[in-house]
Chains A and B, each alone.
Chain A
Amino acid sequence: MVTGATQNPTPPTKLRWGELDEDDGEDLDFLLPPKQVIGPDENGIKKVIEYKFNDEGNKVKITTTTRVRKLANARLSKQAVERRSWPKFGDAVREDVGSRLTMVSTEEILLERPRAPGSKAEEQKAAGDPLAQLGKGGAVLMVCRTCGKKGDHWTSRCPYKDLALPAESFVDKPAVPETATAAAGSGKNTYVPPGMRAGADRSGTDMRRRNDENSVRVTNLSEDTREADLHELFRPFGAVSRVYVAIDQKTGMSRGFGFVNFVNKDDAQRAINKLNGYGYDNLILRVEWATPRTN
């Protein structure tokens, strides 16, 4: 007679599910994919992907990302190691823990590459530089709109993504790569004439019209922003042919918006990508094409 619990003959290696206890979840591990360790890459980031059963018996994937960071190589000579254990002397004898003589800077300081004044549109290599500088220059221009924190990350990488998003969602920013992408494809070191660069328009439209098609509208300017400020702000992205700031004649203050015309359209595109949402003189700028534009 067959009784309630069916006992199917199973190959000896497999556990018979009928023999498993309620809380013997660990034994079901054979059902899970194996643990994966993606070893430390050049940034020192290590990922460990494990699969587990949670309390409700659902299969969950747990990804642990760790970053190992070595601050300084401590390859000390024998005498140096011995010097480390010397007693303090002079004024350092009564050094209380509270005296913060030595502090790590709160600001991240970078070796800021210089911006050569003059031609940026000419040298493709040079055009790579301000981008690289800005891409690296976290301290200056990386702004996250979600947490409003300057310097660490772009909005798409905000660790506080779940906080309330800003009321206005601006024009979708394409995922901004943090390294220069301006290379014409001929390598960063060779000169590429303007007509041959990526995004260069060869249809022979005249100078004036080209510039007006590269017009960028900047809104939410502070009231004492002037042409020179906008010129200085947009200059790193490329040659600027014209700047205009709308000024109220009666009060002399900016009406909060202005236009910047670039010589090259892709400079304008980069400026929009980078400066939209940038904090300038206490206000968050809005930077977009002056007329609705699709590529």
Chain B
Amino acid sequence: MRPILMKGHERPLTFLKYNRDGDLLFSCAKDHTPTVWFADNGERLGTYRGHNGAVWTCDVSRDSTRLITGSADQTVKLWNVQKGTQLYTFNFGSPARSVEFAIGDKLAVITTDPFMELTSAIHVKRIAGDPTEQTEESVLVIKGPQGRINRAVWGPLNRTIISAGEDAVIRIWDSETGKLLKESDKESGHKKTITSLTKAADGSHFLSGSLDKSAKLWDTRTLTLIKTYGTERPVNAVAMSPLLDHVVLGGGQDASAVTTTDHRAGKFEAKFYDKILQEEIGGVKGHFGPINALAFNPDGKSFSSGGEDGYVRLHHFDPDYFNIKI
């Protein structure tokens, strides 16, 4: 396949997100300006100007009208996707690390980093249909985990919130009361910071990637460990194909690769694994730096990866990708 290279960001990429229809790709980077691209040919549509710090995360509403972004400048902003205008700004006491709209787009879960005296926290905010009615108030604030919470997502039917972070423990919280419902088992769970989390298309299981060079597949209801995928590199980003049973891991520094005789640059790769057999299917090389973000198009026929090198690489699969057999 011939990947499409998009160099719109001057700084490393942090997050990638497709909209529900799969025709728009939103990219966040450390350069303060989230960008939206057309997902078929990589043409840039526009940028959202307004943040004063690295943008760590974003999410788009189901009808692709609202974008929510979280940034290191301690704000979370709501944007009009089409015009690029700001609709609302939530202010926090510390950088915002992860945002996600709930099903129905009426609520959003936001995590904030520990900063000075503040511990890390998970906030749930109500999102009004009309931006002029938007208020700052939180529906729920959950405190508790030590260390940074790198990702928090909604569970099925918005009943639970799943969080994962630096303490390597995955927690499931009740989204109405804020009570801790489940914690991942320390023995079988990750040993180092969990960097990323992605849900399956039907929400029944999710994948977490960690700096301990592995990714683990968990059941959403019971938080039992289903599968583990091992790599040689710390995992920065994970993605699951909505079409086939594949998981993709994107990773970081590969110290052992420094001394190989492979003279080609661009050797940081996104590794594909069979979800069920846990075996590596292959890798897609090309990035000049560690891969920080991965996202699959909801139709499963293309995926994109964002790297430390500032490039977004958009890959449309060849027909023989769909015929791969181990």
A and B assemble together: yes
Partner of A111, one of B24, B45, B282: B282
By the criterion CB–CB under 8 Å, are A76 and B23 in contact? yes
Q: Which of A89-108 contact B (CB under 8 A)?
A: 89-93, 95, 101-105, 107-108
Q: Which of chain A's residues have a CB closer than 8 A to the CB of B35? A: 90-91
B4 within 8 A of A: yes
A16 within 8 A of B: no
By the criterion CB–CB under 8 Å, are B321 and A102 in contact? no
The distance from the CB of A112 to the nearest CB of chain B, in whole angstroms, is 5
The distance from the CB of A190 to the nearest CB of chain B, in whole angstroms, is 15
The residue of chain B having its C-beta at the shortest distance from the C-beta of A114 within the complex is: B280
B230 within 8 A of A: no
Q: Which of chain B's residues have a CB closer than 8 A to the CB of A101? A: 6-8, 44
Q: Which of chain B's residues have a CB closer than 8 A to the CB of A103? A: 4-5, 7
Identify which of A77-85, A166-174, A205-213 touches chain B.
A77-85
By the criterion CB–CB under 8 Å, are A89 and B46 in contact? yes
B33 within 8 A of A: yes
Identify which of B106-114, B151-159, B207-215, B283-291 touches chain A.
B283-291
The distance from the CB of A123 to the nearest CB of chain B, in whole angstroms, is 12
Chain B interface, number of residues (Cβ within 8 angstroms): 49
A88 within 8 A of B: yes
The distance from the CB of A119 to the nearest CB of chain B, in whole angstroms, is 16
By the criterion CB–CB under 8 Å, are A88 and B46 in contact? yes
Could you give 21 example pairs across A and B, Cβ below 8 Å? A71-B316, A72-B40, A79-B64, A80-B23, A83-B23, A86-B45, A88-B44, A88-B46, A89-B45, A90-B46, A91-B8, A91-B46, A92-B47, A101-B6, A103-B5, A104-B5, A105-B3, A107-B286, A109-B3, A109-B284, A112-B284
**Which residues of A pack against B, CB within 8 Å?**
71-74, 76-77, 79-80, 83-84, 86, 88-93, 95, 101-105, 107-114, 229, 232
**Which residues of B pack against A, CB within 8 Å?**
1-8, 21-24, 33, 35, 37-38, 40-49, 63-64, 82-84, 261, 269, 272, 280-286, 301-302, 313, 315-316, 318, 321, 324
